[in-house]
Structure 1
Amino acid sequence: MNLKAVLSLGALAATGFFVFGKDKFSEYSNVLENLKMDIKGIRNISFNREISFKVDVQISNPTNISIDIPGNQLVIKNLHFYTLSGKKLGTAFPNIADINLPANNYRLITNIPVSLSMAEIGNNIAEILDIIGDKDKLKIAADIEAFGKSFTINA
């Protein structure tokens, strides 16, 4: 085979990989935009200069497309916590990678450490105590980075 034929085949193969990769990225983008999050548990609550606790978060994939991305191509960067009234309480930085979410299924991520600053909480201590008694009163949003693009999931 001559050099021109090898280069032509290489270009064709690269184009195929690009198109396949682009389609896969588009498919994953659609799935990421449809993910749902739910707080399943709050425990180990302590009060010092901040409120610290561990949280379990369930991420649900309601689509018929599985996500199985090894390594750091998909990372849950931040979890933002809010009161029901919309006041931001704080952010956790779990940096969870190596995500596997089966189609029409979920993944439970446990023991995510959270520290909320008393300064950020401000006068909402009554609301915090109410949230501790009922996890459904805590709202969550997640920042996810996938293939260099950022997504926000609001629960």
Structure 2
Amino acid sequence: MGEFRTKDGRCIVAEDGLRIRVGERSPLGTLRDALTDEEIPPVRRAGGALFGLAVVVGVVLAVRTLPVWLSGAGVGLLLAWLVWSRLHGGQPEKEISIQYDAVESVEPEYGLPLLTRPRFVIRYRSEGGVKRRYVLCPSRLYGFGAYERGKELFAEQGLWQEPEATNDE
């Protein structure tokens, strides 16, 4: 059927059910995918790349102008985080499968701008109860169209209905 990017993987809306791949990539890998995705207009990809470059230049300037002890502490924390993430191994890649007959509802939530990511709340029956799975979309800064693509795919499959426009005249 189709798929869309999530925060750290992909959500595949297939013929037989939903497959959610988790732990495929790091935040930098997600950003790299956003900058190389052919569905994203070149102007937006260039804007994303320039924003990333501005962040790197800002960090370099901050390191050069801050006191030595503060810059050293920041660099030390960054190196400790990198070593820890390499030794820890990150999240193992896994895939969650949900059959369509078990899905009770899919609710898209746009989230609060600049505070939370757009996401889908999938309610499904499992193990004698109803579980919730949150599918987080990429950040609005580099998630160009992932949320809208997810809404389209869920609507095509009949899992989500577009709210009817009411004419209260």
TM value normalised by structure 2? 0.23
Name the structure with the higher helix share.
2
TM value normalised by structure 1? 0.25
Name the structure with the higher strand share.
1
